[in-house]
Structure formats: C-alpha cells, structure tokens
Amino acid sequence: MDLELAGRRAIVTGGSRGIGLAVAGALLAEGARVVIAARDGERLKAAAARLAAGVDGAVVVPVVADTGSDESVRELVARTVDEFGGVDILVNNAARVGGAGGPGGVRGLATADAAADLNVKVLGYLRTAQEVIPHFAAQRWGRIINIGGLAARQVGLVSGSIRNAGIVALTKTLADELGAHGVTVNAVHPGFTRTDRHDGTITVTEEQLAAAAKGIVIGRVVTADEVAAVVTFLASPVAAAITGESLAAGGGTPGPIHY
C-alpha cells in the first residue's frame, strides 16, 4: 500500500531515541521530510546521522527544543516551516518514560514532579498542536498523532495514568475542533515496548521481557518499529477515516473490553 507520504513534512518530538526515533525512521522510509526534536543536542545529532544513513535520500533536520517551553515550541515550528516551507504532520512523543512517581502511590507523588510531567506531556502536546493548527487550517490538511500509553487505561503508575488520560481528552477535543479543516487527530497507546532503552541505555534482562510478555495477548513485547508502523499509517492520507480515537499498540491486554 502506498501511504502517500512522499514529500510530506513532519515534526517528531522526542525523536532522538526510542519510539520517536522509530517513528521518524518510518516516516522517512515513506518519503516524508522530518524534523526530529529533543533537548539533548548531541544525542539529536547522532540520531539524525543514524536516520540519514538508514534511508537513501532522507531529509532529516535535528532541532533542539523543549516542549515544556512556549518559546521553544514556537521556534521549533518556525524552524520547520523555514526548512520545509510548511508542516503537515505532528507526532507528539516527548515525555519522561513511565512518568513521575514510585512507591507510595498518590501520597508518594510529589506535586512538583507531577506538574513537571504534565507540563511536558500534556501541556507540551497542547503547545505544539496550537503552533501547527494555523498551518494545518490554512492548507486544509494535517495529521496530529499523540503518543500516550496504556497507563491511560489502568492504575498503578499515578502520574502516568493521569497524564495519559489527559492526552486522550486533548486528542478528542482537538479532533472535534479540527475535523472540518481536514485535520485528523489520534492517540496511540504503547505498552511495554522494546526500544533502544533495552539494548544498552537501560539494562532489561530477557527474564524481565519474558515476564512482561505474560501479560500481553500476542505473547511477546512489541518493538518500537511496530508502534511506529501504526503511527505512520495514522499520519497518512489513507487514514482519513480515523480521528478522535485512542488506539492501543501494546500487543493486546487480556481481559478488558474497550468500546
């Protein structure tokens, strides 16, 4: 299937590693031009070089940005428009993996840590959406994909559950508001995902992966590339029939039925 993404212009936040890096690679493979954004400039440059080497003719631009800052987000979108002449796709992915919190449940979560989490993952997603909306509305086409997490559908990770539930509400609100302008907005909820965190950055044993797989319908942990394939489809013109939805991409959760 031709996803009709050749020449499209995308921003991927949190694009220097993990799911964001995989999404950027998938979009580039389909012929899109991509800005990857993150806070660590050196890691970002290395990621851009890796992506460029992986796809012939890839156009990838690294931009240091902090989605927790209004000014930084404005500069990110302005730089993208300067580089590519516009913007068509926004993939919101920048966030602290897992969210703040730990032992102690709600009482153990510092409000300052929760506020920092929400500032980046919920308000950060809102900031970037606000900046691209005028461009999308003017051209009457656009795609926003918000990377949430399966914590939106369960308790246990206090900040993770709160922020990802917020992403669902933001996604549906944006979808309803922007649909008449040719813009679709969807959320993708990864679960435990095999990313570059699992091959050196953070040590995760095969035993831990096997334990996680017991709670996944397909019997294994999904990869970042598999999540990226879902995101890339939603970013394409052929996915026009889907908007305002939250799609789980964690290999299936046994038991619950979600309508």
DSSP characters over 184-213: EEEEEEE-SEE-GGGTTTS---HHHHHHHH
Cβ neighbors of 62 (< 8 A, separation 6 or more) are 16, 35, 36, 37, 38, 41, 44, 45, 47, 48
- The superfamily in CATH containing domain 9-249 is NAD(P)-binding Rossmann-like Domain (3.40.50.720)
Q: How far apart are CA 46 and CA 15, in angstroms?
A: 11
CA neighbours within 13 Å on the CB side: how many for 70?
A: 1
If one counts every other C-beta atom within 10 angstroms of the C-beta of residue 217, the result is: 11
Q: Residue 164 is which amino acid?
A: N
SS3 143: strand
Q: Is the dihedral of CA 99, 101, 107, 110 positive or negative?
A: negative
pLDDT tens across the length of the chain (259 residues) = 899 999 999 999 999 999 999 999 999 999 999 999 999 999 999 999 999 999 999 999 999 999 999 999 999 999 999 999 999 999 999 988 766 666 667 888 888 988 998 999 999 999 999 999 999 999 999 999 999 998 888 876 788 888 999 999 999 999 999 999 999 999 999 998 888 654 444 556 788 888 889 999 999 999 999 999 999 999 999 999 999 999 999 999 999 888 8
